[in-house]
């Protein structure tokens, strides 16, 4: 029987819409985003600290690597069946403090075990780390070409003021452009949507940078969509409007048609709710376009 997971986790709820297996050797994040979900709830003081640290019981980075690889090897077949590994729900995998550990785990998981790996980051600085390790120019690991097994994603909100220590959104777009040009799969998390105009602008720029897939979700509070005006410090924002929301969906689907796939997160389904849109349910409205995909769609298999 499998031991209790120490580094891997099986996310539930909103997190499962990103991946069914995640690699979490660190807790905390130096991006200091105002809206960070890790800061919320009773575990916020533990998970939401302002710098990444190794989880309790993990001695050092080498120990984290070996713990992770042991669990990944044990669950390899399940992980592949469920779509691969997601880096990470409890930190940022590409900031200076964490990137070397995550890249080592990712490259060996893809190279040795042929497991697909998805990154999600707000960092553009890791491009320098790539150059130093010749990952971009080589990408041959143990005789296997593993570009097909790596997908790099960036969170794009269009609101740098709410993400004080993260790379600016335009630099994330530039990083995506470089990664796409080097033949990697790229995707974007447009979550949280703070306002529809900013998110639409980010989608336009990401498409121009070669983005192949979008996951789009509204700002939530304890899994519930924020339905009132909200603020982060001195920054004030208007509540989401149903008509504007539906208009945003239509505009995005027209913009991305023939260029990228789109997954509308459960937050959009919940927000539209039982209100019929053009005679359709929320699910029908959000899935009516051929390039609108479901939760289990994979950027690696390109199928629903």
**How does pLDDT run across 244-303, given as a tens digit for each residue?**
999 999 999 999 999 999 999 999 999 999 888 889 999 999 999 999 999 989 999 754
Structural domain contains residue 154 = yes
CATH of the domain at 170: 3.80.30.30
183-229: pLDDT as tens digits: 889 999 999 999 999 999 999 999 999 999 999 999 988 778 888 99
- 36-65 tens-digit pLDDT: 876 665 455 555 577 899 999 999 999 999
The count of domains in the chain is: 1
Angle at 214 (CA atoms; ends 304, 199), nearest 5 degrees: 150
Element (H, E) at 45: helix 44-47
pTM reported for the whole predicted model: 0.92
Q: Does the residue 303 lie in any domain?
A: no
Residue 2 forms part of a structural domain = no
82 assigned to some structural domain? yes
pLDDT of res. 45: 55
Give the burial string for 167-202 (b: 16+ CB within 10 Å, else e). bebebbbbbbbbbbeeebbbbbbbbbbbbbebbbeb
Question: Quick one: what percent of the chain has pLDDT higher than 90?
Answer: 71
Q: How many whole angstroms separate alpha carbon 241 and alpha carbon 254?
A: 20
1 belongs to a structural domain = no
**Domain of 19?**
8-286
Residue 291 lies in a domain: no
230 lies in some domain: yes
| Residue 59 CB neighbour total at 10 angstroms | 10
Residue 90 lies inside a defined structural domain of this protein = yes
């Amino acid at each position: 029987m499998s031991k209790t997971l120490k580094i891997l986790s099986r996310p539930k709820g909103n997190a499962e819409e990103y991946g069914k297996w995640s690699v979490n050797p660190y807790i905390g994040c130096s991006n200091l985003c105002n809206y960070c979900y890790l800061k919320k709830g009773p575990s916020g003081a533990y998970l939401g600290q302002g710098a990444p640290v190794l989880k309790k019981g993990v001695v050092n980075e080498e120990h984290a690597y070996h713990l992770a690889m042991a669990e990944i090897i044990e669950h390899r077949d399940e992980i592949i069946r469920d779509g691969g590994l997601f880096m990470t729900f409890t930190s940022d995998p590409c900031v200076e403090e964490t990137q070397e550990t995550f890249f080592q785990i990712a490259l060996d998981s893809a190279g040795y075990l042929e497991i697909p790996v998805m990154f999600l980051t707000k960092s553009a600085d890791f491009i320098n780390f790539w150059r130093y390790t010749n990952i971009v120019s080589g990408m041959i690991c143990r005789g296997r070409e593993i570009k097909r097994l790596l997908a790099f994603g960036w969170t794009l909100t269009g609101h740098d003021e709410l993400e004080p220590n993260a790379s600016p959104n335009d630099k994330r777009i530039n990083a995506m452009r470089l990664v796409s040009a080097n033949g990697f799969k790229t995707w974007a998390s447009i979550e949280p949507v703070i306002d529809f105009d900013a998110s639409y602008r980010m989608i336009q720029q990401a498409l121009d940078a070669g983005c192949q897939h979008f996951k789009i979700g509204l700002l939530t509070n304890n899994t519930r969509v924020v339905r009132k005006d909200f603020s982060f410090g001195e920054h004030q924002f208007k509540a989401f409007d149903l008509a504007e929301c539906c208009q945003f969906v239509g505009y995005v689907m027209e913009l991305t048609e023939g260029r990228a796939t789109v997954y509308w997160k459960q937050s959009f389904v919940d927000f539209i709710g039982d209100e019929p849109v053009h005679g359709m349910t929320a699910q029908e409205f959000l899935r009516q376009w051929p390039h609108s995909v479901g939760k289990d769609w994979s950027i690696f298999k390109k199928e629903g």
